[in-house]
Structure 1
Amino acid sequence: MYDRILVPTDGSAGVERAVEHAVGLAEEHGATVEALYVVNAATFGGLPMETSWEGISSVLREEGHEAVERVEKIAEREGVDVETRIVEGMPSRTICEHAASEDCDLIVMGTHGRGGIDRLLMGSVTERVVRTAEPPVLTVRMESDDSDADAEERAAEERTPQP
């Protein structure tokens, strides 16, 4: 059913859960995993003129290499073929275009599970991919003790007076 499974990664620890799902499916179907890291140049558009894009790009590409290497290690540990790519662009658009151009059968992505105003204000790469990608998209909720939402929830609980 699946021959090529795309797993976009941002290098965060939380995304490993999505990677493990992608690798598990690839193992079951004899598929290849493609790890994709998108260098998002638009994020740094407001930097001062004296800031060098080459320097920032270099740092982001290094982060990208580390991110796709993590995916490689997980896939290789399970005996799954893996290909890696680091590209520049707008993440959601680039992920969808890459999935289409590489004939990916499935996209597996992590989601922070944010809702309400957080999702409205920050947007969601995963949500945009779900709405616009040609192949099916499997979303995996990322579990991380460090997540902003969890930290805010714990802080609110600590401020709430207990009877």
Structure 2
Amino acid sequence: MYDDILVPTDGSPAADAAVDHALTLAREFGATVHALYVVDATAYSVLEAGTTVVRDALEREGAAAVARIAEAAEAANVPAVEAVVDGTAYREILAYAADHDVDLIVMGTHGRRGLDRYLLGSVTERVVRAANRPVLTVHADEADAADATGTAA
């Protein structure tokens, strides 16, 4: 049923929760997990540090995030592919899914509500609405999110 499972990550607790689900499914179905991090430096282009410095930092963060997923996959005896790409997160997730013919996208959700959701938007929500393949969303436990950020999700 599932040969290739895409797990987009931003390194957050919500993304980590999705990884656990993706690895369980991949192990059950003998699938490959694709760990994807999208570098979107456009939101930081007004900083004095400049886009190049920000992009480099985001690329390092992305490489570390997908490496953690690959390590977890190896420990679970699941094959993994790592990718760090530039662009707008939801668009690149959908493009990667299409280009690699993934069977399932597994994404975490932060569970933002109200003004936070309105202002920040939801990459997961956009993927769910636009995807032409199944998307499994995994809600991060609010306690885990609070531990990681110091505030409730």
TM-score (norm: length of structure 1): 0.85
> 1-side partners of 2:115 and 2:37: how far apart?
27
What's the offset of the Cα at 1:149? 9.6
Which stretch of structure 1 is more off in the superposition, 74-83 or 142-151? 142-151
- What residue is the counterpart of 2:29 in the other structure? 29
Aligned positions, number: 151
> 1-side partners of 2:138 and 2:62: how far apart?
21
Give deviations 1:29-88, integer Å, cap 9, x for gaps.
00000000000122212223xx33222211111101110011011111110000000000
Instruction: Give % identity.
Output: 49
Q: Does 1:44 align with 2:15?
A: no
- What residue is the counterpart of 1:127 in the other structure? 125
- What residue is the counterpart of 2:90 in the other structure? 92
In structure 1, the gaps of 5 or more residues are 154-163
2:41–2:58 CA contact under 8 A, matched in 1: no
Q: 1:18 to 1:84 in 2, by over 3 A?
A: same
Matches within 5 A, 1:7-156: 7-48=7-48, 51-143=49-141, 144-146=144-146, 151=151
Give deviations 1:72-115, integer Å, cap 9, x for gaps.
11111110000000000000111011101110100000001122
Greater Rg, structure 1 or structure 2? 1
TM-score (norm: length of structure 2): 0.91
Runs ≥4 in structure 1, deviation > 6 angstroms?
147-150
What's the offset of the Cα at 1:118? 2.2
> 2-side partners of 1:114 and 1:14: how far apart?
11
> 2-side partners of 1:145 and 1:102: how far apart?
31
